[in-house]
A and B are shown apart, each in its own frame.
Chain A
Amino acid sequence: MAQALISRRAVLAATAAFAGTLAAPRVSAQPRARLVIVGGGFGGASAARFARDAFPDAEVTLIERSRSFTTCPYGNLVLAGMRTVESITFGYDGLARRGVRVVHDEVTAVDATSRTVRLANGAPIPYDRLIMSPGIDLRWGAIEGYTEAASARMPHGWVPYLQPITVLERQLRAMPDGGVFIMTIPANPFRCPPGPYERISMVAHYLKQVKPRSKVLALDAKDGFSKQPLFVEAWRELYGPMVEWVGASNDGRVTAVNPEAMTVTTEFGQTHKGAVVNVIPPQMAAKVARDAGLADQSGWCPVKAGTLESALVPGIHVIGDASIAAPMPKSGFVASTHGKQAVAAAMALIRGQAPPAPVYFNTCYSHVGTDYGISIVGIFRADGDRFIEVPNSGGISPRNEAMPPERRAEQRRLEALYADGWYESITREMFGLS
């Protein structure tokens, strides 16, 4: 390699020698770094795409048991009749074409000592560093009577690989006019803090058009929720008395369900009967992470804020919903920002270098009606091993009273459009389509 880096020829030669590598160039005698990623969702797919773009010399393996991925985001728009489930479902060919080794198999165990991932069908896969993005499991039985079997009658629609959104969609379409759509909402932390409230909005949007005598009754284990003042003012404006939200202080916390009777019972003994009952149960990190010793007593996986490396098991990074990354919400965008940082950190650590200081970015858009979008923005950094939100930044969309009347409709219309733009941009990026 040229010693004099001053001449233009030397600069060009050196730049060319990068061979697309954005980070430290590999000395030719070193073996290729082996990065293995478990889980092909927002975190894992984004990590795989970023790894291929930023570290073309690395071997990137993505293990995902399903051959297609239906996003949780925009599942609520399927309920509203605004999207088809096909339009929110993606394959892995794009990533494979970009050089990701995609392995469609189930992980049975992670051996952190020998640094291998064991599979149900294929040979074990060795790694230099492992990134786990396995998502969540539902806590069956945390609500009395809400077993996995019960979820056929009272769908959750919260984990697409367990239950497609079409199960809840079919029940909603079959609901008689005048029926009550009941939703039960868990305490924090759970996947997608604004998600239940977007679903309330999208269900109400559908019912108002097609079954206007119906009601939506939301029973919440909490008193506060994400973007609450925006949701509340939008529901008042768009759906009026059709939507009733009951917080924990007003006996909103559901403690038991009866799928045969289609009833739910609250903490202080009230019973409500629904024509459709959507139970969003308490959650935890997916089993594959818990079995690998990555979760603490909370059922979620503690990580170091700078690198997303597990606080419990060295050599393994945990990203996305499975991780404890508060104050960051459990969102797809957060998982994707985690994925990029985890890849950079993992590759630095493989090479014995200092990982770059992270900046994490999130915007959660919610659709409340047609041409009515709202959002929450957050930018986060690491302060030692803790995640912190950047002071005086981010925040929720302006409330109506904060805008001149002539601006309000435009703000809501643009945010609904931007939500669509976000969805298209991020899915094209994470699945290697752009």
Chain B
Amino acid sequence: MPVRARAKAGWVRRAAAIVVLGMSGFGATGPAVATDALRVALVTGGCTGCHGTTGEGGQGIPSIAQTKTRAEFIAMMKAFRDNQGNPTVMNRISRGYTDEEFALMAVRFAKPN
């Protein structure tokens, strides 16, 4: 079965680096809990349904692919929660998520810090 040869997405490398640095060692037993990278993928699983696999958007849905810094991204999601930013759907959407999940979304979609 062919394994994809193309470069791993940048956010995967960033998320993987978070995991590696947070672990005391791996090899024999492996980590016992889901990694941050997997959590990022799951938390952003709904986002890609409209914004696309890379966040590029289309058909009037804005691109969120590395358009903001992490701080700006998180601030934007919080503002949507308060009905700011002239939201059409994002106010209803953002109210479903926690601040921690906004940070995980920023790992995938914001500019790397």
State whether B38 touches A356 (Cβ < 8 A).
Answer: yes
| CB 8 Å contact bits of A351-375 with B (1 = contact, 0 = none) | 1011110111111000000000001
Tell which of A50-58, A111-119, A160-168, A307-315 binds the partner.
A50-58
Contact between B42 and A358, CB atoms less than 8 A apart: yes
Decide if B103 is an interface residue (CB 8 Å cutoff): no
Roughly how many angstroms separate A378 CA and B95 CA in the complex, as a whole number?
Answer: 10
Cβ-defined partner of B48 (8 Å) among A101, A356, A425: A425
Enumerate A86-121 residues with CB–CB distance to B below 8 Å. 98-99, 101
Task: Collect the chain A residues with CB atoms within 8 Å of residue B54's CB.
Answer: 434
B59 and A417: CB pair below 8 A? yes
Known contacts A421-B50, A425-B50; A25 and B26 CB within 8 A of each other: yes
Q: Indicate if A337 sits at the interface (CB-CB under 8 A).
A: yes
Given A22-B38, A101-B1, A418-B88, A428:B53 Cβ within 8 A: yes
A50 to B25, CA, bound (A): 27
Main secondary structure of the interface of B (DSSP, over half): loop
**CA of A25 to CA of B52 in the docked complex: distance in angstroms?**
27
A143, CB-defined interface residue at 8 Å: no
B52 touches A5 (CB 8 A): no
Q: Are B59 and A418 in contact (CB under 8 A)?
A: yes
Once the chains bind, are B26 and A1 in contact (CB under 8 Å)? yes
Task: Specify which chain A residues have a CB less than 8 angstroms from the CB of B21 in the assembled complex.
Answer: 5, 11
Secondary structure at chain A's binding surface: helix, strand, loop or mixed?
mixed
Number of interface residues of A (CB under 8 A): 64
A363 touches B32 (CB 8 A): no
B37 at the interface (CB under 8 A from A): yes
Establish whether residues A344 and B59, one from each chain, have CB atoms under 8 Å apart when the complex forms: no
Query: Which residues of the other chain, A, contact B61 by a CB distance below 8 angstroms?
Result: 417-418, 421-422, 425
- A residues contacting B by CB (< 8 A) are 1, 3, 5, 11, 14-15, 18, 20, 22-25, 27, 50, 52-54, 56, 59, 98-99, 101, 333, 336-337, 340-341, 344, 348, 351, 353-356, 358-363, 375, 377-379, 390, 392-395, 397, 411, 414-415, 417-418, 420-422, 424-426, 428-429, 434
Is there contact, CB below 8 Å, between B97 and A22? no
Interface size in chain B (residues, C-beta < 8 A):
53
Q: For A337, what are the chain B residues with a Cβ–Cβ distance below 8 Å?
A: 45-46, 49
* Per-position binary interface string of chain B over residues 31-48, scored 1 when its CB falls under 8 Å from any chain A CB and 0 otherwise: 111110111111101111
Are A341 and B92 in contact, with the CB atoms below 8 A? no
Chain A to chain B contacts (Cβ below 8 Å), 21 pairs: A22-B35, A24-B35, A52-B4, A99-B3, A337-B45, A344-B34, A351-B30, A356-B38, A359-B97, A361-B47, A363-B46, A363-B49, A363-B93, A379-B46, A393-B95, A418-B50, A418-B59, A421-B50, A424-B58, A425-B58, A429-B49
B33 and A344: CB pair below 8 A? no
Chain A residues near B17: list those with CB within 8 A: 11, 15
- A380 CB to closest chain B CB (Å) equals 8
Give which listed residue, B20, B34, B46, B88, contacts A353 with CB less than 8 A: B34
Contact indicator A429/B53 (Cβ below 8 Å): yes
* B34 lies within 8 A of A348 (CB): yes
The answer to whether A417 and B4 touch (CB under 8 A), given A14-B20, A359-B43, A361-B45, is no
A263 to B7: give the CA distance in the assembly, Å: 60
Residue of B nearest to A347 (CB): B38
Known: A5-B21, A56-B3. A23 touches B101 (CB 8 A): no
User: What distance in Å separates the Cβ of B23 from its nearest Cβ neighbour in chain A?
Assistant: 7
Distance between Cα atoms of A428 and B28 in the complex (Å): 39
B60 neighbours in A (Cβ, 8 Å): 414, 417-418, 420-421
Q: CA A337 – CA B21 in complex, angstroms?
A: 29
